[in-house]
Amino acid sequence: MKDQYVILTGSKNNAGDYLIKFRAKQLFAELRPDREIIDINGWETLSPSNLAVINESKALILMGGPALVEDMVPRVYGLADVIDKIKVPVVMMGTGWKSQKGNWENTYTYKLNPKTAELVNKVNNSGYLSSVRDYHTLNALRFNNCENVLMTGCPAYYDQKHINTEFSPKPVSKVAFSLGVSFIESPSMFKLMKENVLACQNMFSDKEFEVVFHHSLDRAKFVSAYKSASNHVKKHNEFADWLESEKIKYKDISGSAENLMNYYSTVDLHIGYRVHAHIFMNSIAQKSILISEDGRAKGVKGAIGGVVLDGYFDFKNGFVSKVLNRLLPAYDRFTPNTFLTKELLEEIKYEERIEFSRFKNSRRRIDSNYKIMSQFLKQLP
């Protein structure tokens, strides 16, 4: 048995996924320097040689991201044929759920396919505590008979330079607006994001203002990462074309953790839909307002508080709506929050009036959660 952990990671193109892995490795270096980290792409079918590497390690760690989905095996982790062949403890670290409605009541009936349930059972019986990134995921696992879990927050929250420091906002000279992904399938969310962008640009007309893409605008890069572009790249480029027509600057930061960190380190206020833009800004004690488009953002609100606004009121998830969505491109499953833009502008002004009280509270909760993350890492084999 070697003094090493194998981590299965999911970073392909999305900048946030790279940030999770980057920060997780920093946490290991700080809190478990006694272990070497072997990084394997989680989505690939596990080869015999990689299985051998896992079985000579201290543990297999399923790393971060919204990985807890119904078909986690095989879509997220290519372990379908080898679950019973893994002989070392299997634990989760910073794993999150992915629910489109994302309400608390959805945690009670969160479905897992048989192979995913088998893997989750193996995690629960590992003999060690696992780690999830929010309380929604914690409860979803409880109701799938997995209780050996701590809510540690996402690894991306933890920048060693800012642990136990005070919230220290910079004067706003640069504002970044991050785009979500709901607009790809939803005309109403497409319209809402345009409205948000125009309103924020107008509010900060005397500041540097930029829209940020976390997924690549380059079709070849996207296809290389995900094997399919579907409607994704087309809609992102359509949004970029609209931004150009409105003479609004934009930036593609996909492809690495460094791209995300280097970019947002220059930003004084983040507004938008990307969870890991929000997490990063909070991790460096800077200002961020997150707009929810699914359960990931709602999970963040439960984990660290802060300012998280609802981007939608409802999402049709029934069988008929799924069929209509496939047959009719214009069919919209989202009911957007038509009050969002006014609420967003008022929140920006209000937080300044109360000296960013909720942002300060988020910083304190991150520090509190870091103690639990430390507990998790130190108890690993």
Written as six digits, the tokens of 204 are 């900060």
Measured between alpha carbons, how far is 17 from 20 in angstroms, rounded to an integer? 5
Same domain, 137 and 219: no
Same domain? 15 vs 145 = yes
Give the three-state DSSP class for 308: strand
> Where are any strands of DSSP class E within 67-207?
90-93, 130-132, 149-151, 174-178
Residues 38 and 184 in one domain: no
DSSP track, 189-252: HHHHHHHHHHHHHHHTTTSEEEEEESS-S-HHHHHHHHS--TTHHHHHHHHHHHHHHTT-EEEE
| Structural domain contains residue 336 | yes
Size of the chain, expressed as the number of residues it contains: 381
Let me know if residue 209 belongs to a domain: yes
Identify whether 48 is part of a domain. yes
**Would strands 149-151 and 307-310 be described as parallel, antiparallel, or unpaired?**
unpaired
68, 189: one domain: no
Is 169 part of a structural domain of the chain?
Answer: no
Q: Provide φ and ψ at 125, rounded to 5°.
A: -100, 15
Cα 258–Cα 213–Cα 170 angle in degrees, nearest 5: 65
Beta-strand ranges (E) seen in 215-359 are 249-252, 269-272, 287-292, 307-310, 312-315, 334-336
Decide: residue 54, CB within 10 A, 0-12 exposed, 13-18 middle, 19+ buried: buried
- Exposure string of 110-145, with b = 16+ CB inside 10 Å and e = fewer, is bebbebbbbbbebbbebeebbbbbbbbbbbbbeebe
Domain co-membership, 126 together with 16: yes
In a domain, 166, yes or no: no
Cα–chain center distance at 369: 17
| SS3 at position 265 | coil
Domain that holds residue 374: 4-156+367-378
Give the C-alpha separation, 49 to 51, whole Å: 5
| 190 lies in the same domain as 120 | no
d(CA 355, CA 352): 5
First-to-last C-alpha distance (Å) of the chain: 11
Q: How far apart are CA 246 and CA 40, in angstroms?
A: 42
Give me the residues of the chain with pLDDT under 70, please.
Answer: 12-13, 219-230
Co-location of 240 and 113 in the same domain: no
Residue 85 placed within a domain: yes
pLDDT tens for each residue of 64-83: 888 999 999 999 999 999 99
3-state class of 112 per DSSP?
A: coil
Is residue 47 one of the residues assigned to a domain? yes
- Are 215 and 336 found together in one domain? yes
State whether 185 and 86 are in the same domain: no
Residue 323: per-residue pLDDT: 75
Domain identity same for 342 and 194: yes
Q: Do 10 and 102 reside in the same domain of the chain?
A: yes
With residue 180 as reference, give the H or E element that holds it. Answer: none
| Inter-residue contact 50 to 77 (CB < 8 Å) | no
Q: How far does CA 8 lie from the centroid of its chain? A: 16
Structural domains counted in the chain: 2
170-227 tens-digit pLDDT: 899 999 999 999 999 899 999 999 999 999 999 999 999 999 999 888 766 555 544 5
Question: Residue written as tokens 């007309």?
Answer: 205
229 and 326 share a domain?
yes
Q: Determine the Cα–Cα distance for residues 133 and 308; give it in Å rounded to an integer.
A: 16
Which CATH number goes with the domain that contains 32?
3.40.50
Instruction: Write down the pLDDT at residue 223.
Output: 53
| 255 DSSP assignment | T
Buried-exposed string 3-40: b where 16+ CB fall within 10 A, e elsewhere: ebbbbbbbbbbbbbbbbbbbbbbebbeebbeebebbeb
The helix/strand/coil state of 68 is: strand
Concatenated DSSP letters of 133-147: SSHHHHHHHHTTT--
Q: Is the pTM of this model over 0.85?
A: yes
Residue 162 lies in a domain: no
